[in-house]
Structure 1
Amino acid sequence: MSVFLTLLGKIIPLYFSILLGLFSTVFLKCDKESIAKILLFILAPIIVFNATLNVKLEASVIFLPIFFFLLSTIIAFISLSFFKKIYQDNTSNLLAFSTATGNTGNIGIPLAILFLEPSIVDVFIFTVLASLLYQNSVGYYITAKGNFTAKQSFIKVIKLPVLYAFLLGLILNIFGFKMPEIFLDYSDYLKGAYAILGMMFLGMGMEKIKTNGAFDKRFIFYSLFIKFVIWPVLILIFIYIDKNYLNFLNKDFHLLMFIFSIVPLAGNTVTVATLLDVKPEKISLAVFISTLVSLFYIPMMVYLYTS
């Protein structure tokens, strides 16, 4: 019960940010597209750069974002081939993109702080790069492919600054560059701005929730099933193999991977869907429902894993 109440206290402010986002759109007529561009083209690249620059690069640490990036990519393309048989429009692209990632930033990082050692929390934040890179590369491509040709989609991908921010941070890290101390507090402010704006944007996407077929029961079922059942099962299988045969990661990293797998759908999927005009109202509802379900799902899963 104490774990549940602690987690509830972490998540409630996120729901408040969602309500603020809905209020800003409905009553203040704020522009969702402008917020989406700020998140995708300014805040995300800076956060990726800082995390890549500051993490201690070791084999096991580097393995985690690579593993989750590849897993997301595999899930996305397998799901896309499956959903194309069900949906005849770009809903299949959106569903494949969204179910292959999760809210590892806004919800995952507070969970990591709650359940992991401080040194492992830093590794978790670095691993979140896998989600950001997937969402802004493969995921962006799959979603854009619903409206654009392969060439047009590829051009959109290479224009995303988050990819270059990651490469720059990696290169500077290898050469031992350190962030000047005067910018350390500022980087923390940016993380807070990213978290708040990201959750507010989710609420802004709820404005048209009752129009344009947003309530798609099949869409919601598939997205929740893949995110809350398929994801943790795949990670538990890998953890079992590593514990009994590979012995590459320690138990702290195993818990990190499990937490990474049980977060709800990512709010950033709403950002991409809005920019590409691929049914943002539909994914907004699915993300909101998954976030609501996670309030009870996450503490239950962590309890079962650690007991």
Structure 2
Amino acid sequence: MEALVSIASVYFFIVLGFIAKKVFSDDINDKTLILISIYFLQPILTFWGLTRVELNYNLIYTPFLYFIIVTTLLLFSIAVAKKISTDSKEQSIFIAASLIGNTGNLGIPLGIALFGTESVAYTSMINIANIFFIYTIGIYFYARSSFNIKNSLKNIFKIPILWFALLAIIYNYFGFSIHPQIDMLLEMGAYSAIVLQLLIFGIYLSGVKIQTINYKLTFSSTFIKLILLPFVGYLFLVFLNVDKFIASILIIQLLVPLAVNNVNIASLYDCKPYDVTIIVILSSLLFIPILFFYMQFIGA
């Protein structure tokens, strides 16, 4: 039930953004919302989220496995990207988008619903790994479609989210406390970031035209995210004989649909955000039936 409520909440704000753009049309400047989200609210969300987690070095193994599995598929995606498209922007979308999952807004509450509160420590650490992947590898490939390699690498360090994530980990490591009033402000900013992010997705969804959908890119990216990534993850975990509880959490986190952040970053670097939007919505729609199959498969 908690998982269904989380999914319903996500779609509520997406629909709200969709309606807002349809009603107010050009009065809504989506690029302004993107800049506010990435440069102001997303760093607050990242800092707030990472200071909620009590760092336990026994948990490092889980995000490490997650990162290894995702990196393996990254190398595969790079190898086959030219077979998917000759367009550099579409290649970047295929390489990056299909590996960036919604491990935070959806992954953590889904973990609680399926595995109980014991999963929070693991899903939170996996989300940390995903944040670093998004704002390093993800930024590099999205920016690469519009910049050369040198400037693409520079763009990684221009995004404040990565620095706020590092600050939060240092803050957490030394055990600093946050004043309740400041913590309340951070929490307000964090939830505002989530809502704004979903509204942005709805706004871009309103501009998608069925006749312009790139079906090859859409279905190949969705296949990587919902089928190949969790399957390769399963093979890795079986080979390493990972504890069943941890393995089940990892597979579900690998399976979650594409993160809405893909749309934000694609828009920021002018990397066909409408194509990314339709991939995110397709993976979100297919996620629910595929989730039930994987739950039976792993015995969750």
Question: Same fold by TM (over 0.5)?
Answer: yes
- How far is 1:46 from its partner? 2.1
Identity of matched residues, %: 26
Q: Residue in 1 aligned with 2:275? A: 282
Alpha-carbon contact 1:102-1:264 (below 8 Å) kept:
yes
The 1-side partners of 2:298 and 2:113 are apart by: 15
Q: Residue in 2 aligned with 1:148? A: 147
- How far is 1:127 from its partner? 1.8
Q: What amino acid sits opposite 2:94 in the alignment?
A: L
Q: Residue in 1 aligned with 2:181? A: 182
Q: Residue in 2 aligned with 1:19? A: 15
Matches within 5 A, 1:69-148: 69-89=67-87, 90-148=89-147
The 2-side partners of 1:36 and 1:109 are apart by: 24
Range with bigger deviation, 9-18 or 157-166: 9-18
The 1-side partners of 2:84 and 2:234 are apart by: 29
The 2-side partners of 1:7 and 1:300 are apart by: 16
The 1-side partners of 2:86 and 2:147 are apart by: 15
Range with bigger deviation, 145-154 or 72-81: 72-81
- 2:210 is aligned with 1:217: no
Alpha-carbon contact 2:140-2:156 (below 8 Å) kept:
yes
- Let me know the Cα RMSD of the aligned residues: 2.2
The 2-side partners of 1:242 and 1:182 are apart by: 45
- How far is 1:45 from its partner? 1.9
- How far is 1:9 from its partner? 3.4
Q: Write the deviation string for residues 176-214 of structure 1: whole angstroms up to 9, x where unpaired.
A: 212223334444433322322222211111132117x74
Q: Secondary structure at the match of 2:240?
A: helix
Aligned pair partner of 1:64 in 62, 65, 69: 62
Structure 1 runs (4+) deviating above 6 angstroms are: none
Alpha-carbon contact 2:69-2:233 (below 8 Å) kept:
no
- How far is 1:138 from its partner? 0.9
Q: Residue in 2 aligned with 1:272? A: 265
- How far is 1:234 from its partner? 1.7
Q: Write the deviation string for residues 246-279 of structure 1: whole angstroms up to 9, x where unpaired.
A: x5xx443222212201111111111111011111
Q: What amino acid sits opposite 1:117 in the alignment?
A: G
Q: Write the deviation string for residues 44-85 of structure 1: whole angstroms up to 9, x where unpaired.
A: 222322333342333332233333334334423431231123
The 2-side partners of 1:285 and 1:64 are apart by: 31
How many corresponding residue pairs? 297
The 1-side partners of 2:155 and 2:41 are apart by: 18
Stretches of structure 1 lacking an aligned partner (at least 5 in a row): none
Q: Write the deviation string for residues 202-258 of structure 1: whole angstroms up to 9, x where unpaired.
A: 1111132117x7411111210111111111112212221333xxx5xx443222212
Q: What amino acid sits opposite 1:78 in the alignment?
A: F
Q: Taking structure 2 as the reference length, what is the TM-score of the superposition?
A: 0.90
Q: What amino acid sits opposite 1:284 in the alignment?
A: T
Q: Residue in 1 aligned with 2:231? A: 233
The 2-side partners of 1:251 and 1:23 are apart by: 43
Q: Taking structure 1 as the reference length, what is the TM-score of the superposition?
A: 0.88
Q: Write the deviation string for residues 114-153 of structure 1: whole angstroms up to 9, x where unpaired.
A: 1233242143123212222211111110111111101111
Stretches of structure 2 lacking an aligned partner (at least 5 in a row): none
The 2-side partners of 1:113 and 1:79 are apart by: 31
Q: What amino acid sits opposite 1:147 in the alignment?
A: S
